Amino acid sequence: MSVDLKLVEAKQMIAPPSQSFSMWVWIRKNLFNNWYNMLLTLLAGSLLVYISYATLTWVFTEAQWAVIGDNYKLFMVGQYPILALWRIWSALTMMTFMFGISAGTFKGTMLRLCYILSTIYLVHIIAPFTENTSKIWLTAQLVMLVISYFIGSKIPYAKRFNIVGWVISIPIILFFIHGFGILPVIRTNVWNGLMLTLMLAAVAIILSFPIGVLLALGRTSKLSVIKYFCIGYIELIRGIPLITILFMAQILFPLFLPTGLTIDNLLRVMLGATFFTAAYMAENVRGGLQSIPNGQYEAAKTIGLNPVQTTAFVILPQALRAIIPTIVGQSISMFKDTSLVAIVGLVDLLGIAQSVKSNPEFLGRHMEVYVFIAFVYWVIAYSMSYSSRRIEKSLGVGER
């Protein structure tokens, strides 16, 4: 009997402590292990409590959020005609449909992004400043998201349909927004607010990726003309600030065009942002290519692959997989850099904020405006970062 009691006591001694007990042990060991750490902990804790209390007090009792509700349409779509807003909603419905199809096909990251999208729609439906017409459209977006999710999980060849669907959806979305003469044309000078910010970021990120890959491959080419052209382009662009590229696209580029030929202001900015981002993307891809060991090239050569097949099917997929965090980081940086277009005459989300806070009716409400803008930027940047982490985890990036 005494032996059994000793065994029980021994098991109790080596049993893992409870989670709450472990937390208190960690706190005592790391935060209150001596007098100066205790003092620093109390000071930091007091400061954190004070800042949190002051912030929450301002947010819920002092801030006048009517400035956001009264100008919400401006923040979202700028001066886009009210009678043509159904075209924006139609374009958004197309995007929602493709998100739902992708979520039903791939699950995982796309499904979680749909959760975030659904939450955004629900918040806007509940928000008091949302008009009844907008609430109907938002409810339709939720219904479309659910329907397209089930369609995506049932249709055959769903992955191919996703690729084709996203490619086709881009011109359809642009058609609804612009019109191209079939619908009444809405000129790009009234494409403002968050819509303009997202369009600039999406175009620059999507188009810069293939250009950056080609530049990175060209930089490693054995053909001197291609190699030094790519090196010269990458180093030149990376040595110039983005704002300089934008000014060149706005002021210098039209001087080289033939008389009578003009290129839309927005298109010039998109091209400038794309070529700027492509140079940084090329360096990211080059880093990924250099991380691939020579054994991969030798193995591909052993099984009879030529250099093009080796690069396309063996080297490049591994390189891109390794630099997913870097690519997403560059994409987030480009998204935030779209705020610079306000300097060259385009009115993005930050430009709308500048206009609103300059309105005599809303003088002194700049804090509310900037907090709202910061929150919008954070939601989008966090969604991109979250997607990156999910993709990295699914692909096993950083794991052996």
Cα 186 to Cα 197: distance, rounded to the nearest angstrom: 17
Token pair of 285 as six digits? 């891809």
Task: Name which of 201, 226, 215 is nearest 331 in CA terms.
Answer: 201
Question: 383 and 116 in contact (C-beta within 8 Å)?
Answer: yes
Write the pLDDT tens digit of every residue in 65-123: 889 888 999 999 999 999 999 999 999 999 999 999 999 988 888 888 899 999 999 98
Token pair of 296 as six digits? 């991969």
Question: 276 and 245 in contact (C-beta within 8 Å)?
Answer: yes
The angle, 0 to 180 degrees and rounded to 10, between the axes of the packed helices 132-154 and 85-106 is 30
Per-residue pLDDT, 4:
52
Token pair of 8 as six digits? 């029980």
Per-residue pLDDT, 16:
53
| Backbone dihedral angles phi then psi of residue 18, each to the nearest 5 degrees | -70, 165
The DSSP annotation for 230-252 comes to HHHHHHHHHTS-HHHHHHIIIII
The angle, 0 to 180 degrees and rounded to 10, between the axes of the packed helices 193-219 and 265-290 is 40
The DSSP annotation for 138-204 comes to HHHHHHHHHHHHHHHHHSTTHHHHHHHHHHHHHHHHHHHHH-BTTBPP--GGG--HHHHHHHHHHHH
Per-residue pLDDT, 5:
46
Residues of the chain with pLDDT under 50: 1, 3, 5, 7-12, 14-15
Q: What fold does the segment set 75-80+190-400 form as a domain?
A: MetI-like fold (1.10.3720)
Task: Name which of 215, 217, 211 is nearest 312 in CA terms.
Answer: 217
| Angle, CA 54 vertex, CA 53 and CA 58 arms, to 5° | 115
Q: Most distant CA pair in the chain: distance in Å?
A: 104
Per-residue pLDDT, 1:
46
Query: Where do the domains of the chain lie?
Result: 19-62, 75-80+190-400, 81-185
The number of CA neighbours under 13 Å toward the Cβ of 269 is 25
| Distance linking the first and last C-alpha atoms of the chain | 49
Per-residue pLDDT, 15:
47
Cα 265 to Cα 346: distance, rounded to the nearest angstrom: 9
Compute how many other C-beta atoms are within 10 angstroms of the C-beta atom of residue 145: 22
Task: List, as own/partner pairs, every contact residues 61-70 make where C-beta atoms lie below 8 angstroms and the sequence separation is at least 24, other chains included.
Answer: 63/367, 63/368, 63/371, 64/365, 64/368, 65/368, 67/356, 67/362, 67/365, 67/368, 67/369, 68/129, 68/368, 68/369, 68/372, 69/127, 69/128, 69/129, 70/129, 70/362
Strand partners, 348: 193
Task: Name which of 304, 299, 322, 307 is nearest 395 in CA terms.
Answer: 322
Write the pLDDT tens digit of every residue in 248-266: 888 888 888 787 778 888 9
The DSSP annotation for 305-355 comes to --HHHHIIIIIHHHHHHHTHHHHHHHHHHHHHHGGGGGGGT--BHHHHHHH
Please give the model's pTM, rounded to 2 decimal places: 0.85
